[in-house]
Each structure stands twice: as C-alpha cells, then as structure tokens.
Structure 1
Amino acid sequence: MLLKSKDFPVLPNVFNDFFRDWSTSNFSDTNTTLPAVNIKESENDFIVDVAVPGMEKEDFKIDLDNDILTISSEKTSNNESSNDNYTRKEYSYLSFKRSFTLPKGVVDSDKINAIYKNGELKITIPKLEEAKPKPVKVIEVM
C-alpha cells in the first residue's frame, strides 16, 4: 500500500518482505491462497476444520479416493451495475484444492461427514472400532 506523506509516497520496506519466512505464508505453488486448516485427533475421530468464509455449502466438493481426502471449491461471481453512461463489471474467482492422506486401516470412511457453518467447514472422520485405544485390562493372577 502506498501512503502519502507531505506529497512524497512512502513505500513499504522491500527488504522486510524479501527476508520474511515464506514457509509460514498461506499460498500454494500456483500463487493462489489456500484456506487455513486445523486437524485435531481424539480417541474416536479426526476433525478437520477449514476456514472458508463467504462460501456456501454447495461450493464444496469433498472426496475420498484410496485414503486421500480431497477438499476443493470453485466459486465465480459476476456483479454488474450500470450508472449513467458507463457500466462497471466486477469478476471474482476463488478456487482451492487441499488433499490429506488418511492413515490406512484406521478411519471408517463410510461415516465421514461434513458441516459448513459460520465460515468454517468441519469434516469429522471417525476411527474404526478396532483402531480406537483399548482400556487397560487388569489380569488377575491365579
């Protein structure tokens, strides 16, 4: 952003941008932004939270193929307004694709569900019964 101070533009410090830690940025190799993702594991399931405000539940495609969970979205909007002798058009295009490898033999793929609410996509991935931790069994000595 350029700011004006006493009729001279003030530029951001280019060196700060150049030497910053780019590994923490939220950009893909194609220079598109990726939504932030949190993954939490409990005894019974994995929860994947994806921050995607401004979307609708119909905008998402979620598939599981050979233990790879893929979350993708593509949204295009075209807003047009007319005023006097000119027309202004604004196009917006948002697309992303994130894939996660699920542990083999641990998740119950038939019971995966997703809910989109308040800008957050929450995917619940239940564990198979045999993959859940077993309580400690006390063996009595005879």
Structure 2
Amino acid sequence: MYRNAWLPEVFNDFFDNNYMPKANATAPAINVMESKTDYRVELAAPGMRKEDFDVNINTDGDLVIKMDRKGEKHDENVHYLRREFSYTKYEQTLILPDDVDKQKISANVADGVLTIVLPKIVKEEQKIARNIEIG
C-alpha cells in the first residue's frame, strides 16, 4: 500500500479498518427499500448530474443503471493522496420483481443521490357477487 511520507499512518488506519473498511471506488453505495406501493433504489452519486446517468429496462426486463461522468475536468496541478469517491464509470443490472409496473418507473437526482421509484402493479380485488347452488 502506498503511503506518503508526510501523511500520518493514523489516517490510513482510521479509514481502512474493521469498523470502516475502505470503500470500493468502482461501486457506489446502493440502498433498496420496499413499501406497500413501490420499491425504491437509491444510489450514492456525489457530484453527478442527471446527464451523467442512463437508466433503462433491457430486453430481458431488467433495470440497468449506467453512470458516466461527462466533461469531468482534471486539474493537472493536483495530485490526490487518497481518492475514494472517484467512480466516474459504473454499471449495475438489477433483476426486477414480477410485481413492478415497468411502464411507470421514474428516476431523479437530488443532493448527490439517484433515486429510482419502481411502482408496484396495482391489483384490484374483484368483488364477485353470485349465488351458490346448494347440492
């Protein structure tokens, strides 16, 4: 592991230990939640804009999330000593449950989080009135 001579070892020990393992810089954190009406997928995306994402349903009916930072400017005079949130390209495919209404999926980016709402198919209970024949 590369260590800079002036960067105290305590910083490496603080960020890379059993209590706080080093983050995988190629995979953003993701949350998946379920309510009675929908599923929600949240993807940590600090510094990303909506133009940096492509969210679609592929031919297999799976949800594909692609992230690619477009037009990122690099400062030639800056050298990173440690860089953990530098994922600029990312792709994840999620197999959707059968009860997702794929026509009503929506997504937005706010406060560094991509949120995808996967509404559940509304099943209307049919109330059937009928006579029961007594045999």
Please state which band the TM-score falls in when normalised by the shorter chain. Answer: 0.5 to 0.7
Deviations 1:25-63 (A, max 9, x none): 653xxxx52110000001100000111010111100001
Q: Which has the higher contact order (CA 8 A, sep 6+)?
A: 2
Using the TM superposition, give the Cα deviation of residue 75 of structure 1 relative to its aligned residue in structure 2, in angstroms.
1.4
| Secondary structure of the corresponding residue to residue 48 of structure 1 | strand
Counterpart of 2:62 in structure 1 is 68
**Using the alignment, how far apart are the partners of 1:107 and 1:25 within structure 2?**
34
**Using the alignment, how far apart are the partners of 2:87 and 2:100 within structure 1?**
34
Superposition map of 1:21-60 within 5 A: 26-27=23-24, 32-60=25-53
Moved over 4 A (4+): 9-12
Q: CA RMSD in A?
A: 3.5
User: TM-score, normalised to structure 1's length?
Assistant: 0.63
User: TM-score, normalised to structure 2's length?
Assistant: 0.65
Supply the AA of the counterpart residue of 2:44: A
**Using the alignment, how far apart are the partners of 1:35 and 1:93 within structure 2?**
7
Structure 2: stretches of 5+ with no match in the other structure:
11-16, 79-85, 126-135
